[in-house]
Amino acid sequence: MSSLKSDISNYKELLSQYLESRDEAVLYQAEQFSKQTIQQNISPDEIVNEHYQALQELIPNMDETVKDSFQFLIETMISYGLAYQEHQVLREKQIELRSEIGVAANMQETLLKTQIPDYTTIDIGVKSVPAKEMNGDYHHFIRDTQGNLGVAVADVIGKGIPAAFCMSMIKFALESFSDNQIYPEWVLDSLNRVVFRNLEEGMFVTMFYGLYDIYTHQFYYSSAGHEPCFVYRSDSDEFEKIDAKGLLLGVENDVIYEQRQTTITKGDYIVLLTDGVTECRMGDRFLKQQEVLDVIKLYADLPSSDIAENVFKHFERLQDFDLRDDITIIVIKRNE
């Protein structure tokens, strides 16, 4: 406790300076002193005791009643000291927990990492931003043996760490499907059974799954209760809603997922979103889907990854923007 000792003599010094001069600058030093003692975990009763010792030296003939009152004050301060110690322990625990959540979030990122396949005919961009540390959105790309692109975007209802585990399950299920079976209706049907059997009650998944035929530029898609997605049509300069009927994953065992298809022509692009995008609040209102599409159009001439990035930044810059839910935006553009 040598540092405490040096502080004690310092305290006495400060106190005597103040009693002589009543100088405000010394009061400021007292404030600095208290910050130092907090850093060194010195409890309030120790400081009162210090004050008492210092006074005894500075005022040798102190009244006995005053002395006794200090004993009384020191006793009173002891429970403050204990509360303070408890506070310190909780703070340390909080730091520990936060770092564990950080580790979990990192693990999630590593586990769920998906490589964006590289094509010359199409250009793919993704932006996914969690509202909290753990992301409840998930997206995944698969390239089949013929080179076609499978793309999934999902939102797990029920957030945080359980959602992250659920997504790992979905990822490994998606990767286990053999290469010639990745038509959307089949993928969602199979995933639904996996999720129904394995997910704890109260957790559900919405997913939009698409298969982009790289040779014919047909886009096949199915939806498991997911927000509608969009295709920008270059000939009409308008967005077309693409949606298919299908229940959320994990609610019932036997579900038929409708599969639809559309032709992507040169200059068209596909926009896949999670509903977090439209659940953002701007002050006291919600963002409308049309506003998101309008912003996407603003950046449409950029490469896909820049479109996704810029759309998110655009909203982030706006005042009163409140990211309530995780956001994922995927853009797939046909180049040639």
Partner 1 sequence: MNLHIDDHQEGDVTVLKLSGEIDAYTAPQLKEKLLALVEENPTVHVDLARVSYMDSTGLGVFISALKTSKEKEHALKLINLQENVYRLFNITGLNDVIDIENTVRGELS
Residue numbers at the binding site for partner 1 (CB under 8 A) = 155, 157-159, 201-204, 206, 224-228, 245-248, 251-252, 255, 275, 279, 324-325
- When the beta carbons of 119 and 196 are compared against partner 1, the nearer one is 196
What angle (nearest 5°) sits at the alpha carbon of residue 31, between those of residues 27 and 36?
140
Separation between Cα atoms, residue 326 and residue 227, nearest integer Å: 14
How near is the Cβ of 159 to partner 1 at its closest, in Å?
8
- 220 with 213: CB under 8 angstroms? yes
How near is the Cβ of 163 to partner 1 at its closest, in Å?
11
- When the beta carbons of 188 and 330 are compared against partner 1, the nearer one is 188
- 293 with 256: CB under 8 angstroms? no
- When the beta carbons of 230 and 299 are compared against partner 1, the nearer one is 230
How near is the Cβ of 206 to partner 1 at its closest, in Å?
6
How near is the Cβ of 311 to partner 1 at its closest, in Å?
21
- When the beta carbons of 126 and 248 are compared against partner 1, the nearer one is 248
How near is the Cβ of 251 to partner 1 at its closest, in Å?
6
- 293 with 269: CB under 8 angstroms? no
Alpha carbon of residue 314 to chain centroid: 19
Positive or negative, the Cα torsion across 225, 226, 227, 231? negative
How near is the Cβ of 232 to partner 1 at its closest, in Å?
21
- When the beta carbons of 43 and 328 are compared against partner 1, the nearer one is 328
How near is the Cβ of 247 to partner 1 at its closest, in Å?
4
Separation between Cα atoms, residue 71 and residue 244, nearest integer Å: 78
- When the beta carbons of 155 and 189 are compared against partner 1, the nearer one is 155
- When the beta carbons of 218 and 289 are compared against partner 1, the nearer one is 289
